[in-house]
Structures are given as C-alpha cells and as structure tokens.
A and B are shown apart, each in its own frame.
Chain A
Amino acid sequence: DSGVTQTPKHLITATGQRVTLRCSPRSGDLSVYWYQQSLDQGLQFLIQYYNGEERAKGNILERFSAQQFPDLHSELNLSSLELGDSALYFCASSDQGAPDTQYFGPGTRLTVL
C-alpha cells in the first residue's frame, strides 16, 4: 500500500460526458502527479501540482483539467469524453525531495462507451 488513494476504482460512461477522478496523496506529500496509461500510448505524464499550484504540464488535452485543493487532494476532470480516452489514470504523490521519488495510487479505470 503506497498511501495514495484514488476513487473511483472503475468508471464507465458514454461519449460526450464529463467525469471527475479523485486522488488523495500520502500524508505530508505536497506534490501530486497525474498519468494516463493506455495500450497504445503507454504511461504518459499529464500534469503536476505542487501545494495547490500547477507546476508542470505534459501531454494533457485541453478537454482535461486538474486542480489541487487546500487539503492537498487533487481532482482530474475529463470532459467531452471520446472512446480514445478509455485508459487507466494514475495519481502519484511525492514530497519533492531530490531526486523526486513518486508513490502511485492503484488507478482509476475509465471506460468510455
């Protein structure tokens, strides 16, 4: 158990819909990362937040957005969903030490029908 929790575990929705994925980091970790894992693209970094502020952006679509709240939990919002958005979404947290070791949650499996 990494100490990172993600909800829900599974999510099934239809094209065009909007969903929110939630992540609670390990106690004391200020940084949260979101990654997407699909069969064809592998594990890809989406976005990072540090203590409520966006720190880095990766291959995140404009239809996707994220935020980190004062209690440090984070939400990833996916809108106008397409079939190709079906994937595993992982959240990771770290204490931003150097080097940065990240601890991953169990993931949310999103299926878009």
Chain B
Amino acid sequence: DIQMTQSPASLSASPEEIVTITCQASQDIGNWLAWYQQKPGKSPQLLIYSATSLADGIPSRFSGSRSGTQYSLKISRLQVEDTGIYYCLQRYSNPWTFGGGTKLELK
C-alpha cells in the first residue's frame, strides 16, 4: 500500500501569512494527488487536483506543487475562512490513501 506522510499535524498562523503543508508519498504516484479542506460537520472540499490544478471556485491563493514524490499545498495570504483540516489523497492505486491531516488555525 502507498503511504502518505503529511506534515505538520497542526499549524497556527496569522492572517496574510503564507503556509505550506506537505505530503510525502512512499512511492511514485505521478500527479494522482489531490488536496481537500474539511470544516467541522462538512464534507471534504476539493482544492487542488492532479497535484497542481486549482479546482473550480477555489481562490488563487491556494496552489499545489510537486517535487518527485513530495507534494505541497501553499496558501498565500491566509484568510480567516481558511481554518479547517487539510488532507492529501492519492488515487494512483487501490487502496486510496489519505494523509493524516493538518489542522490549520489562525492566531
């Protein structure tokens, strides 16, 4: 099974700051990597698909990048509404695997 190691587990940042969350895949998954944001009591919302493509309706301050088997989600100019838990997901092969999640709070 492919392991997705996500870091950090939690993050506290101020509005307008830049934050980066990473996921390290245990093997090659190509660009089969998506990032989701989940708010309490809600379904996950797609932010980034195919590692770097911005999902419809998502603000451009969200961006995804890839370096080998390491994937990153960057949030530029953090906003209050960006609080929540962020997950990466690989759909390259079954079983799909999620990262452990990053809880983002604003100071």
Q: Are these two chains actual partners, yes or no?
A: no
